[in-house]
Structure 1
Amino acid sequence: MNDLPLKVKKLIILVLILAVPGFFYYLLTVKGKNRYKPLPHYGPKQVAKTGHKFHGKYIPDTIYHTIGNFSLTNQLGKTISSKDFESKVFVVNFFYSNGPALVGAMEKNIDRLAGAYRKNRMVKFVSITVDPDRDTPDVLLKHAKKLGYAADKWIFLTGDTSTIYPLARNGFLENAVKSGGQFIFSNKLILIDADKHIRGKYDGASLQDVVKLNDEIKVQIAEELRKIKAPN
């Protein structure tokens, strides 16, 4: 392996990290519930009027921020809404097909993650364009075909700016705007749980953050499975 180029070595290491269940995830789930620590919730929250008992103590429930309902169009021209992500864990990013090198770096990292979860039906990846005038469904389909994932695994969405920009700002709590002919948008990969809560944000161009996201996707899957198995 010493004779391999540095870039090849880095790629092999990253593939191994993504393919093998994270050590971080193992530590959280080994020996059952006592070692489990859920991911944080992002955004504003408020105390609910309802509550529950834990070890005999009454604890008020918390209402966490959700990304809200949305309806956009995917690369196949099909309407996709928030209902299509019921019982799913998904990772969202903003981009545009004619974007700068940063967009390409983000897509390479998403590609590595999507490959690792290709057979996992619970996990999806969503890229929302900030340039819907250019990024029509046909353009997004050509773009998606280069990456080689099914339209229900890596979903490219378009619509109009009156929907996309407020969704970015008010739903995902990130910037997306066109100013002076330039697109200003977040480089974050945003982890969303099955209840549409934001559970993590990661630098899409950082390999270190992508490795962390890989581990935390597994943590979130574990949480969703625990909720399914929990008694009513």
Structure 2
Amino acid sequence: MEIKFFKKSIPTLIFLIVFSAIVIPVFYQLLKVDTKLKIYNPADVNPRLVDFSMKHITKDHTVADFKLTNQNGEIITNKNYKNKIYVADFFFTRCQTICIAMAYNMSELQDFYKKDADIMFLSHSVTPVIDSVSVLKDYAERKGVMDGKWNVTTGSKKHIYELARKSYFAVLDEGDGGENDFIHTEQFILVDKERRIRGYYDGTEKEDMIKLKNDIVLLKEEYASK
């Protein structure tokens, strides 16, 4: 009796083994897809943050080419961030409000990733006329900026403000980058190796910095699996 029952169970057992071999990997892959970070396009962002000319874009948005000058007087472009994951923000050296916490948190992130060659940082001055190279150099020394890891930059105000509004979608207010235009934002923006936006974080909040680190883990796993 037991032998007959066992024989009848063999096909069921084989079926379960084959079923598991097929379904479990598929289920695992679906879970992996779900843990991938969102890719942000203009249509995915708060409409108040997006320039009117770009609100219709639903795919393939990337950070535009840029040309800036860092704390050492070096020209910094997209090429310096090629095949890098980076965190971008907007600040000014005389800021005595949100920028203090932002600079502290960016410095903490830099220290956390100092041995990780995949991760870099990019800060854009929103008062570039005031924040000359010499001013940025002094600021960088005070904040412990590591050359080659974190660039604090100045440049054309119009260019920087256009990056904030049309590439990073980091500010609510509109403007033309003119003399009376001024932006101030606490946003940290996570950018992947294809220059795509993968996350937004409040640069003054510790909880958001934890989330940012966790998201970088997911992003690195995404690249490792390719």
Secondary structure of the 1:185 match is: coil
Per-residue deviation, 1:185: 2.0
Q: Aligned partners of 2:39 and 2:115: how far apart in 1?
A: 27
Q: Aligned partners of 1:68 and 1:226: how far apart in 2?
A: 27
Q: Does 1:208 align with 2:207?
A: yes
Q: Aligned partners of 1:184 and 1:149: how far apart in 2?
A: 23
Flag structure 1 segments of 5+ consecutive residues without an equivalent: 1-31, 46-61, 228-232
Q: Does 1:133 align with 2:132?
A: no
**Residue 183 and residue 99 in structure 1: after superposition, are their counterparts in 2 closer, same or farther (change >3 A)?**
farther
Aligned to 1:187: 186
What is the correspondence of 1:10-159 to structure 2 with a 5 Å cutoff?
Answer: 35-36=31-32, 37-44=35-42, 63-159=59-155
Secondary structure of the 2:183 match is: strand
Secondary structure of the 2:151 match is: strand
Secondary structure of the 1:165 match is: helix
Per-residue deviation, 1:133: 0.6
Q: Which amino acid aligns with 1:214?
A: K
Q: Which amino acid aligns with 2:189?
A: I
Q: Aligned partners of 2:179 and 2:120: how far apart in 1?
A: 33
Flag structure 2 segments of 5+ consecutive residues without an equivalent: 1-27, 44-57
Q: Could you tell me the TM-score, scaled by structure 2's length?
A: 0.74
Per-residue deviation, 1:142: 0.8
Q: Aligned partners of 1:67 and 1:138: how far apart in 2?
A: 27
CA contact (8 A) 2:41 2:59 kept: no
Q: Which amino acid aligns with 1:199?
A: R
CA contact (8 A) 2:158 2:178 kept: no
Q: Aligned partners of 1:144 and 1:220: how far apart in 2?
A: 28
Per-residue deviation, 1:35: 4.0
Secondary structure of the 2:200 match is: strand
Which of the two has higher C-alpha Rg? 2
Q: Aligned partners of 2:120 and 2:80: how far apart in 1?
A: 11
Per-residue deviation, 1:157: 1.0
Q: Which structure has the highest strand share of the two?
A: 1
Q: Aligned partners of 1:163 and 1:116: how far apart in 2?
A: 30
